[in-house]
Every structure is written in structure tokens, then in C-alpha cells.
Structure 1
Amino acid sequence: MKITTWNVNGLRAVLNKGAWDRLAQEQPDVLCLQEIKARPEQVAAEFHEHFNQHSVYWNPAEKLGYSGVAAFSSYTPISFDLGIGNPEFDREGRVIRLRFPDFWLFNVYFPSGQRGLDRVEFKLRFYAELLDICDAMHVAGERIVICGDFNTAHSEIDLRHPKANVNTSGFLPEERAWVDKYLEHGFVDIYRYLYPDRVQYTWWTYIANARRNNTGWRLDYFLVSQALVPSIKDVIIHTDIMGSDHCPVSLILDSPTIAVPGS
């Protein structure tokens, strides 16, 4: 099973940049998108032609042209939830949860703290509330895959210029500490587990030729429950796929009891 996550920074804009042909070549079984900034009726038919999976889920923000997540799956989940049950966060369209036989998949667009201290505090509250949900599910024996844009570089290896960004949201100590908490509460950053010393990024600012110079940050993650680690085969960062300031990331896993596609 291949799960691909991508912050598209505006789905309609990416559609106009021709990125879908290249992404479709990867043949993801489940595609999780963040920052879609669109509603289903605003998306061109071209997108649906490329990704005409059986199950489609949209969770746009209440505010037009802002935030939002979507998920497209060749496998029909047992159930799904839009949001986490808190209107403060859910009005921004930040979470889709899909329940498969072997695990829950969370497609998450974590808030950015770039717009000021109040948004940093909002971001940290979101981290806390989502972790509370995950803790309760782990206690109940559930296994979870969280994918998406975490809007935080966890360690110095995860951004090009760590020392210059110690006071920048996305690398603040209190933000990084919340990623630590997820790892302390039964999750594994599976890319870093598989590739402890590899330097790859998933986000580059649009200015100063950052992507060409590879002046980037690793903001897009798969965190998996420890019980799922033996099922993980690989994590691939698709730095060659353009169209957004982020690039897609794919998780390959064995899921022996997953349903037949489209069932």
C-alpha cells in the first residue's frame, strides 16, 4: 500500500502547473492533500480524471481560499471523520481521519505560527489536542499513521540553516518539543528511523532560488505507531515533483488485511 501526502499550497494553482501527470505516475493508493484552498466544485475535471479513486473526502475551511484538506483512496475505509470535534480547529479544515482494517490514517495540516504569537499558541494547542486523541486511541489498542504538513522542523538536520532560525516559528524550541512528545507517546518519525543521517527537505520558500539551492526544511512527515514499524517498507521524498513550495512524500507499507481496492 502506498500513501502519499502533499501540501499543494492551493489545489487549483497546482492543477494549472501540470504536476498531476508526474504525481499520477507514482500511483498512490491513498493521496492526502493539505492546504487545498478549494472546494470540490472549484476543482477542474482534470484532477478527477487523474485521481478517480472510489472514496473521496473533502474537509475545506469555512474561510474561502484558506487551509483545507482532502483525501482520495483506492481502498474504501471502514469509517471516516472530518475534523477532531473542536470547532476552534475544525472550522479551518485541518484533519481527515480514515479507518482501515489495520490502522487509522490521519491526514493533518498542522497550523503555522508564522503570523504571530497568537498563532503559535493556537498551533501548540492543536498539537496538544490531537495528541490527546491519539493517546486515547493507543490505549484502546488502535494503530495510527499521521501524515501531513507538521509545520515544524524537528531537528537541526531537518533544515538547512538551523542556527539562523532558532527564533523562527517552525523551529522554535516549544514547537520542536511537541514533536518530541509525539515520539515519547508511541509514535515513530519513520523517515528519520529509516534514514537517520540523510539530509532531505520537503519545503522551500519561493524566494532567493531556495529550491534550486536546496535551502529547505523537512516539514512533511509520516508518524506511525510503534506497532506499525515492522510493516513499513520505505519512505520516499519526491523532490523532483514540482508545483508547490512543498514536495510530496510517500509511505510504503504492508497491510495484509486491507480491503480490495474499490470494495
Structure 2
Amino acid sequence: MKLISWNVNGIRAVLNKGFVDILNTLDADIFCIQETKAQPDQIEVDCDLYPYQYINSAQRKGYSGTMIFSKIEPLSVRYGINIPEHDTEGRVITLEFDSYYVITVYTPNSGDGLKRLEYRMEWDKAFSNYIQSLDKPVLLTGDLNVANEEIDIKNPKTNRRNAGFTDEERDSFKKNLLTILKDSYRTLYPDKVEYSWWSYRFKAREKNAGWRIDYWLVSKELMPKVKDSKILTDIYGSDHCPVQLEIEL
């Protein structure tokens, strides 16, 4: 089974950059999207591979939002984490299958000057509680807006107090997610250096001055079933690249 996740930084923009061709070429069983930046009536993806398409848009137009394409019909679909104060930005979709859940998430960014850091800390706790409330193992993916360790970022020293690499965010990631889920990529490749996001500024992608902030996290009991976890750095169209999970379920 192949699952892919991609922060597209605007679904309408990426549709003009060959997105449907990428969907067809990668041919995943489930394809998760973050940062759609669109309302449902603005999203029209004509791809015969995926009869099941689910959209969770933010109330604020042109902001945040998630989507999942699936070849497999889920048993149920949930939007958000059942907490009104956290469910206005379209950040979570959960698909239930026979023996597992697939969750796509676009974690809140702490923002310039860390103005949303306090909210981010609240979100992390609430989201962790939501995952732990589920009654089956979890495949969690998305832009988690945190580089976990220094190996996951090109310039750790100069980014120490920047959103996505603060001590608070990294500690919260470990406490709220890595205590219950395994980072599939880092588990398989403890010393490998690859990134999934590059700033549009300063030719960062050309210089490979990036961050690894897009993940496939899996419940501990599912980690032995993981065959590979990849970062698809050759796919363009966004400031992020897709991340891929191969697992036998």
C-alpha cells in the first residue's frame, strides 16, 4: 500500500502546475493534501484514480485547509478534532478503515515573532488527545510545522528561535506525538539528511537549505509493517515536496 502526503501551498495554484499528472504518475492508494487555501466550490480535481475525495476548508477564505484523495472507500470520515475552537481552520481529516485510521493534518504555524506559539502549544495537546481517543492504530501525515532534531534542518543554530524550531515546539512534538507514534522516516534512516520544505527566498531549494517538517508518523504496532518512507525531492510545484509511506496492511 502506498500513501503520499503533500503541502501544495494552494490547490488552485498547483493545479496549473501539472498536479493531476503528478497524481496519476505517483498512483498512490491514498493521497493527502495540506494548505489547499480554497473553499470546496473552488476545488475541482478531475482524476479518475480517486472516486473518493474529502475536503475540509477553513472558514477564512484562502487559508489553511486539507483534502484527501482515496481509491478505497473509508468506513467513516471525520472533519476536525471535535473541539470548536480548533476546528475553524480546516486542519484535520480522519478516514477510518477496517484496522486503522489515516489522518491528514496541517499543524498551526507559530508565526512571525512566535505570536501563535501559545495557541500552538494548546493545539498540540488537544491533537494528541484526539489521536489517543481513537480505537485503532493510526497513520498520521502532514505538515507538522516542526523540525524535530538538528539533523532535520540546514541551519539549526541560526533558526533556534524561529517558528518550527523553537525548544517549545520540539519538546511538544516529542511529548505529544513521538511518545505515541513513530517517525517512520527517521526510524528507517537515522542519519539521512533530506528536507521537505524550502523557503521561496534566497534560492533556498536550489541550495538545499531546507527543513524536514512533513512526516508520516505511525502507531508503534504498525512500524514493523512499514516497508519504506521517502521524501520525494524531485517533485516540484510547491515550496514543499511530497512524502511517501509504503506499508503492508
Instruction: Confirm or deny that 1:168 pairs with 2:155.
Output: no
Instruction: Confirm or deny that 1:253 pairs with 2:247.
Output: yes
8 Å contact kept, 2:24–2:49: no
What's the secondary structure of 1:61's corresponding residue?
A: coil
Residue 244 of structure 1 and its aligned partner are, at CA, apart by 0.4
CA RMSD of aligned residues (A): 1.4
Instruction: Confirm or deny that 1:220 pairs with 2:214.
Output: yes
Listed as ranges, the matches of 1:92-107 within 5 Å are 92-107=89-104
**Size of the alignment, in residue pairs?**
249
Residue 7 of structure 1 and its aligned partner are, at CA, apart by 0.4
Partner of residue 208, structure 1? 202
Partner of residue 82, structure 2? 85
Partner of residue 27, structure 2? 27
Structure 2 residue corresponding to 1:67, chosen from 61, 64, 69: 64
Q: TM-score normalized by structure 2?
A: 0.96
Residue 98 of structure 1 and its aligned partner are, at CA, apart by 0.5
**Amino acid paired to 1:124:** M
Residue 25 of structure 1 and its aligned partner are, at CA, apart by 0.7
8 Å contact kept, 2:114–2:162: no
**Amino acid paired to 2:29:** D
Structure 2 distance, partners of 1:170, 1:4, is 22
Partner of residue 258, structure 1? none
Question: Could you list the per-position Cα deviations for residues 177-208 of structure 1 after superposition, in whole angstroms to 9, with x for gaps in the alignment?
Answer: 11111455321001000010100000000011
What's the secondary structure of 1:163's corresponding residue?
A: coil
Structure 1 distance, partners of 2:8, 2:50, is 19
Following superposition, which runs of at least 4 residues in structure 1 exceed 4 angstroms of deviation?
none
**Amino acid paired to 2:217:** L
Instruction: Confirm or deny that 1:113 pairs with 2:110.
Output: yes
Structure 1 distance, partners of 2:177, 2:126, is 15
8 Å contact kept, 2:196–2:213: yes
Listed as ranges, the matches of 1:31-70 within 5 Å are 31-44=31-44, 47-48=45-46, 50=47, 52-70=49-67
8 Å contact kept, 1:51–1:72: no
Residue 23 of structure 1 and its aligned partner are, at CA, apart by 3.9
8 Å contact kept, 2:114–2:163: no
Question: Could you list the per-position Cα deviations for residues 40-94 of structure 1 after superposition, in whole angstroms to 9, with x for gaps in the alignment?
Answer: 32134xx32x354121111000011000001110001111100001122211000
What's the secondary structure of 2:171's corresponding residue?
A: helix
Partner of residue 180, structure 2? 186
8 Å contact kept, 2:197–2:213: yes
Structure 2 distance, partners of 1:198, 1:222, is 16
Structure 2 distance, partners of 1:110, 1:163, is 23
Partner of residue 14, structure 1? 14
Residue 38 of structure 1 and its aligned partner are, at CA, apart by 1.0
The runs of 5 or more residues in structure 1 that have no matched partner are 256-263
Partner of residue 130, structure 2? 133
8 Å contact kept, 1:33–1:71: yes
8 Å contact kept, 2:125–2:176: no
User: Which stretch of the first structure deviates more once superposed, 74-83 or 178-187?
Assistant: 178-187
What's the secondary structure of 1:211's corresponding residue?
A: helix
8 Å contact kept, 2:60–2:89: yes
What's the secondary structure of 2:174's corresponding residue?
A: helix
Structure 2 distance, partners of 1:207, 1:117, is 20
